Chains A and B, each alone.
Chain A
Amino acid sequence: MFSVIQFPGSNDDRDTRFAMKSVLGVPSELAWHKSADLPADTRAVLLPGGFSYGDYLRCGAMARFSPVMAAVRRFAEAGGPVLGICNGFQILCESGLLPGALLRNRDLHFVCEHVALRVERSAPPFTSRARVGEILHIPVKHGEGSYFADDATLARLEERGQVLLRYCENPNGSRNDIAGVANEAGNVFGMMPHPEHAVEPVVGGTDGARILGSLVDFVQGRGKAA
């Protein structure tokens, strides 16, 4: 089961489930933020985009306290794959499951457009279906997507190959053009672009399926080794 967490204010939750279930053909259900446990057969967790709790305080700052987040943390600590998209990325940073923070975009405007992303690492569970150096076209849509970490953290991320995706043209002022970053163990990954909005040829192209498909491969035991 690919469990998509539904926070109040999530709004790409149904789209993420659609991408997993209807396009990639794997079982996927919404998991309610108030439940203390993940669905029993959860093999991967997806934190969707949106504006959890309205994002009125700081993006993701309230959602990290949702009961379900304790279960997500346990799942991640046990090595389970967790993908945070946009607001999900922000929640993972706020929860401390990923390093760094997402700040207001450089030009202070919300931005919705297709961006080109360079794949920095080809590895399970999130980028095994892509090649290093390959360019993926996936849309962004966010107001607070400027990735920030201090110099020491950035250096460590780069050194350990935790930066999986980088913007070819930086839309938001992210440090080191970082579009997606993983934890040290590699099983928790956050990205600002929306792979779930790039899984069908007529609606945004299919490059997003490379990311989500990598996760499917991993769960189904098909991911190639790093």
Chain B
Amino acid sequence: MTSAGDPPVDLALALEHGLTEEEWHQIVRILGREPSFPELGIFAVMWSEHCSYKSSKKHLKTLASEGEPVLHGPGENAGVVAIGDGLAVAFKIESHNHPSYIEPRQGAATGVGGILRDIFTMGARPLASLDSLRFGPLEDPKHRHLLAGVVEGIGSYGNSVGVATVGGETQFHECYRGNILVNAFNLGVVETDRIFLASAAGLDNPVIYAGAKTGRDGIHGASMASAEFDDSSEEKRPTVQVGDPFTEKCLIEACLELMQTDAVVGIQDMGAAGLTCSSFEMASNAGTGIEMDLDRVPQRAEGMTPYELLLSESQERMLLVAKAGREQEVCDIFARWDLDAAVVGRVTGDGRMRVRCHGETVVDIPVDPVAASSPELDRPTAEPPELRERQKLDLAALAPEEDLTGALEALLDSPDGGSKAWLYRQYDQLVQGNTLIGPGGDAALVRIKREDGSVTDKAVAMAVDCNPRWCVLDPYAGAVAAVAEAARNVACTGARPLALTNCLNFGNPEKPEIMWQFVEAVRGLGDAARALGTPVVSGNVSFYNETDGRPIHPTPVVGMVGLLEPWSRFAVAHFREEGRQVVLLGETREELGASAWLALRRGLEAGAPPAVDLEAEVALQRLLARGVAEGWIETAHDVSTGGLALALAECCFSDPGGTRVGAQLELADPIRPDALLFGESPGRVVAAGAHADELLAAAAEEGVPARRLGTTGGDRLCIGRAGGSTWIDVPVARLHELWARAIPRRLEAA
């Protein structure tokens, strides 16, 4: 089974491929012989952390993935959740961290391309994207370059394929200096009777390859994402794939057109590990086998070896199984879009993957042990020894903030607190014509049209969230807070949170401290998702975000999706009018642990993150939905990083050039002013509207603490102690200027 030119296959080569000695022996046991070179490559990628989830799957199984509206949960390309009237949304978030650090533009672009394929593979038309991004400090020229490249990559791909980028989050922190995070989220709309799965069912059905030709790009991308970075990482540039959004756009249209016929049995995109992963997954899901002839694969380069053809991560390719006899019809649709399509094999019944090349069998292995029964590890965990100490924060010993206005200004002027318009004005936020709330709000809100273009009453709200500072200080509490905040953001539009996806970014799981962070975070995700009734329907794990032994903060990003129906009433995150009454929902406690203020003004990343009361959270979110539907709430903005003062300032302006409305507000809580203004007690929302009495009465009914803060109007933001001194009194124009310039000025300073 060896081909000319293949290196001799032995344990040493297996180790070089990232396999362990134990895994090598297991391979030999499975095959009853030593593997061929392509077979070794297949085992190496399929059992890589990236593809097999071997360190995480034991823990991911504990997440609640079921619920009444869930049609498809984890294990498919994306989670699918019903939204009524025969419609459903498919969504997922996925990381493209390692490639984006090596080559930011292509890394981010192919990240977007990959997540889009996960969505339209299910039969859904991609509707909207979000991005969750993390970089090192902007003072570092390398990170200015990375930011610019990633944004350009996301834009170049998303804009070109005609899918709106409607929101996201961006943070900057020292811990991402060696490993940036690029997590791409996409959501698509599908009719519930037209959902497609990755299944190679039906004996003798043809296996069809469609889309871009296969080249030598991206071989070993999955293995790259399964190891730490070191000094040689720059040499990994050739493992980054190159995206072609034009081909993707044609592929989307061709696939959706094809799915209107009944010729398709199953379909899968070729992502990590390309042809190998897709064919194994499809056969494994159906309990079948596949026989494939590599000579028939459309090829971009001359003389590609079986190893290269099987492991290439060339983008914009799909593998599908059609009904026997419908081959021509399928190929004709791809031809109409000028795309290659070729029958490359057929479904067999013996559960084996057999691959031929130039008439020789180069791969012959049982499907199941490679795909479904890949190794599952129970890695040891250990709480980081210094953590308890870091969680201690003695408020009494903490000098009070002397300059409250200065602190607010510093937060607005920080890259985390400032406007992200520099990023999102480079994204098409409008295409498909459904964007009710675009980037810059708490959550994006996008109207649902049917495939025939008819408008529905439904809109989906979506948000991505994580506070890594909280997660490093307490991964459990941080993950609970990420779920609660993402749900709260969705609820701020008036929508009801439905389900979530997650992207778990961590360091090296072989280290017990990292594994402990991971297990704690998964426990937090699970508990919060159950309490809020929002099942976890899809997700992705990215380990090895670690360079030269320095890991990132644990960053479990939550992507929450909610439904608003009808969308005729929704709330925005900024004050719309003068003379509106401002109400604070939720309780402010005297706490400053893990806050942005503490980090920015005291240089401390310490203290325990504030605890989330999940029952109170449910009540708050129910109240928001009711208040928006009744028309009492026209503005709702979550109080999060930066505390109440930053939230109130953000309410005073919308987009660059948008509305600016001041406010006169008084706070009554008898706690120290800096905690009142900058503490980050969760479960709070600033609400404004013309019916505060009704809102306060409803809050009392729902058991949500609520108090009137004042009214909107004028061109200044004034905040003071009720019946006492004024703490902050600044022109809104000045706050806006600081906020709007926070990122651009740092990029221009270069």
Contact = CB atoms under 8 A, between A and B. Distances in A.
Interface extent on B, as a size class? 35 or more
A54 B431 contact: no
A1 B657 CA distance: 38
A139 interface: yes
B150 to A, nearest CB: 13
A141 B162 contact: no
Contact of B428 (A19, A55, A141): A141
Given A8-B246, A12-B431, A112-B427, A141 B159 contact: yes
B274 interface: no
A9 B436 contact: no
B426 A11 contact: no
Contacts of A203: 430, 433-436, 447
Contact of B246 (A19, A54, A204): A54
B433 A8 contact: no
B727 interface: no
Nearest to A21: B453
Contacts of B338: 8
A218 B113 CA distance: 42
A54 B245 contact: yes
A54 B433 contact: no
A219 interface: no
Interface in A87-120: 109-114
Contact of A54 (B244, B428, B432, B454): B244
Nearest to A109: B426
A202 B430 CA distance: 12
B250 A111 contact: no
Nearest to B432: A15
Contacts of B656: 113
Interface in A1-50: 8-9, 11-12, 14-15, 17-19, 21-22, 50
A147 interface: no
B114 to A, nearest CB: 18
Given A17-B453, A56-B246, A194-B430, A111 B425 contact: yes
A121 interface: no
Nearest to B338: A8
Contacts of A139: 430
Interface in B210-264: 244-247, 249-250
A194 B429 CA distance: 12
B455 interface: yes
A8 B432 CA distance: 16
Contact of A8 (B250, B425, B428, B430): B250
A113 B431 CA distance: 12
Given A17-B453, A194-B430, A55 B160 contact: yes
A166 interface: no
Interface string A158-199: 000000000000000000000000000000000000101100
Contacts of B160: 9, 11, 51, 54-55
B155 interface: yes
B426 A112 contact: yes
B172 interface: no
A53 interface: yes
Interface in A117-145: 139, 141, 143
B246 A197 contact: no
Interface in B146-186: 152, 155-156, 159-162
Interface of A: 8-9, 11-12, 14-15, 17-19, 21-22, 50-51, 53-56, 109-114, 139, 141, 143, 194, 196-197, 200, 202-204
Closest 8 CB pairs of A and B: A11-B162, A54-B246, A51-B160, A15-B433, A110-B426, A141-B428, A197-B430, A110-B155
Interface of B: 152, 155-156, 159-162, 244-247, 249-250, 337-338, 424-436, 447, 449, 453-455, 655-657
Given A110-B159, A143-B159, 5 more contacts: A9-B160, A12-B162, A18-B453, A53-B246, A54-B246
